[in-house]
Amino acid sequence: MSSMQSSRPLIGAALSGRQLGILVAGLAATALIPLIANDYWVRLLIFIFINISLASAWNIIGGFTGYASFGHGVFFGIGAFVAAIGIVRYQLPLLVVMVLGGVVGGAVAALFVPVFKQKGLYFALSTLAVMLVFETLLQRWTFTRGLRPNDLGWSVPTQMAVVDFYYLFLALLGGVLATVILVVNSKIGYALHAIRKDEILASSIGIRTIKYKSIAFIISAAWPGVVGAAFAPFLSFVAVQSVFDVNITLNMILVSIFGGAGTIVGPVIGGIGLSIIDQIAWGNFLDYHRLINGALIVAVITLYPGGLVSLVKSIRERRRVAKAQRQSFVRSIDGTDETVGRT
């Protein structure tokens, strides 16, 4: 076990004190935006918060552990249905259904434990298959379709304003990031890092790989359940087609990889970066929106497989080397001048 503890996470996985301060300050500054922004920007930021939250949760299993789940959207959808049923059928408050969404999401994730005997593509396809199974069940089961037999979804009432949802999803984002930071800097985080690097070696030195993979998966599933539950009243109408869309899972993966999978700030940078690209493409090149988005994403991932985080590190490293070279050059000149003076 000492070998596991001496194995530190990848550079960028754990935050320094300065980076943590910047992250906290950024969240605090973001809380002031509704004071100066209109509803359009407030809604846009809500979706950015959701994207970052979901990607950060997926990153626990997909980035830090190295097990790419292609069915993670099922937990978001389950959370939304738990909230819709709880609010409409049983008149439960939003806070209660959010907790229930996380609990049910984590409980469903526990069913995936046998799947962890698989790896790579087989694991990814198995998680995708489970999502399709839940999608079919919820679509066919009368109890989950609505109050009436012919209903195809749930109309979820709410008294909350857009600004209220803004602060709710901002708080959830802070909770997700805090969870990721705690996990990465704990014994669990070191175990996940070892599993990602070499699972066979990790197992040989005493790390219970199934246990830690299961813990990571349940944590990464609980938060989408909570976020999905909070999303139900914001969406106002919950149906299988709206909350079990495979694009939700793909977006989690894309945001995480684009920003830098296996790092804390990666999903944050990825969520903001993709949103900026999307807004620029929509506003200026509507007919080529998807083409521009796809080309930029492919370019970044191809040139910098570590995502935008690796790009930032590369720029900082080049600046550091250039600064060191300038200082070396200045010292050499000063040395030459002193030699000439003595001569």
Q: Could you tell me which CATH number the domain at 2-306 has?
A: 1.10.3470
Residue 15 has pLDDT above 70, yes or no: no
Report how far residue 73's alpha carbon sits from residue 224's, in angstroms, rounded to the nearest whole number. Answer: 8
305 compared with 194, residue with greater pLDDT: 194
Q: What is the pLDDT of residue 325?
A: 82
pLDDT band at 5 (very low <50, low <70, confident <90, very high): very low
Taking only the tens place, the pLDDT of each residue in 162-204 is 999 999 999 999 999 999 999 999 999 999 999 999 999 999 9
Express as a percent the part of the chain with pLDDT over 90: 56
pLDDT band at 142 (very low <50, low <70, confident <90, very high): confident
Highest mean pLDDT among 9-23, 110-124, 214-228: 214-228
Q: What average pLDDT is seen over the chain?
A: 87
Q: What is the pLDDT of residue 295?
A: 82
- Residue 32 to residues 163, 238, 244, Cα–Cα distance (Å): 11, 30, 32
Nearest to 162 by CA among 308, 301, 42: 42
Residue 309 has pLDDT above 50, yes or no: yes
Tokens of 167: 């602060």
Please state, as a whole number, how many other Cβ atoms lie within 10 Å of the Cβ of residue 272: 18
Taking only the tens place, the pLDDT of each residue in 245-276 is 888 999 999 999 999 999 999 999 999 999 88
6 compared with 342, residue with greater pLDDT: 342
12-26, 213-227, 309-323: range with lowest mean pLDDT: 12-26
Q: What is the pLDDT of residue 164?
A: 97
47 compared with 6, residue with greater pLDDT: 47
11 compared with 164, residue with greater pLDDT: 164
Report how far residue 120's alpha carbon sits from residue 122's, in angstroms, rounded to the nearest whole number. Answer: 6
The residues, ordered by sequence, that sit 6+ positions from 137 with a Cβ below 8 Å of its Cβ are 144
**Domain coordinates of the chain in residue numbers?**
2-306, 313-343
9-23, 135-149, 216-230: range with lowest mean pLDDT: 9-23
Taking only the tens place, the pLDDT of each residue in 18-44 is 777 888 888 889 999 999 999 999 999
Nearest to 137 by CA among 108, 167, 176, 169: 108
DSSP annotation of 156: -
